[in-house]
Amino acid sequence: MARKTTTPPAGSQLAAMPARAAKAAKAAPLLAKAAKPAKPATPKTAATSAKAAKAGAKPALPASPAGRLKGEAAAGVVPARRRAVANAAAAAHGRTVAPWSDAEIVEAFTRFELRDPEPKGELDYVDPFTLLVAVVLSAQATDVGVNKATKGLFAAAPTPAAMVALGEEGIAGFIRTLGLFRGKAKNVAELSRLLLERHGGEVPVDRAALEALPGVGRKTANVVLNIAFGVPTIAVDTHLFRVANRTGLAPGATPLEVELGLEARIPDRFKRHAHHWLILHGRYICKARLPDCPICPINDLCRWPDKPI
């Protein structure tokens, strides 16, 4: 049986066309929105980096010692951190090298003596008291910075009595440019009072008495005894510690070990100036980050395997 079809009148088809067009136009925006490609997601790492940069975050430092030294400069880490890394490496190396012979030690200090027969420290002072104060203030500070601060301080208070009269706040006003200045001002005021109370205003020529004063440790006591009174002590600072370990001259895990090692090995004729020679050598030649080995007067004796010569 044939299927019957019905053809609508021509007029009715024309009437339906505007309605269909309107319906399609209404649906077009929805279809376009659905077909629009999605915005790619920002990777998490990029977002994190952008956020960190906006917040002013410092980049993470590399894990290796060499990488840390390079990264710290960009990150603004203080030089003390670089010295600590270099000193730790030097101490580890120092424990592995053959000790110097007596002849090598004599040769090294003979060369130091020929280059600088009367080495001097770089802190400004006029007497044992001002030297003591300057050394106490030099902790975690440069000698140049200390000298700028003490110029006015010593003019205002050159004696223990004058320092006590100036008081903690007055002292702080002069040394404000130094790190930890409030704690240092407190120590200087109190040690001045104790010098008057216990020692008649004089700096004692005795290690135990010096170390009993606030802000005075073994290194400070050694500096004062050596420079002010000519006692052949050896003050081990960060530079001397690095030199003793890096060269293999007197390896030690602590400043005291290095000090005792040097005292046991250095001939008496050199002990008066030994710590000055080694400190200045570490400060200007055997530097933490870039030792200037080509001009080192003892580079042929040094045990450091990485010396660039």
Give the catalytic positions in this structure.
Answer: 219, 237
For the range 147-151, what are the long-range contacts, defined as Cβ-Cβ under 8 Å and sequence gap of 24 or more? 147/122, 147/123, 148/177, 149/174, 149/175, 149/176, 149/177, 149/178, 150/124, 150/125, 150/174, 150/175, 151/124
Identify the CA nearest to 178 among candidates 211, 217, 133, 221. 133
Contact (Cβ atoms closer than 8 angstroms) between residue 235 and residue 260 = no
DSSP letters for 71-107: HHHHHT--HHHHHHHHHHHHHHHHTTSPPPPHHHHHH
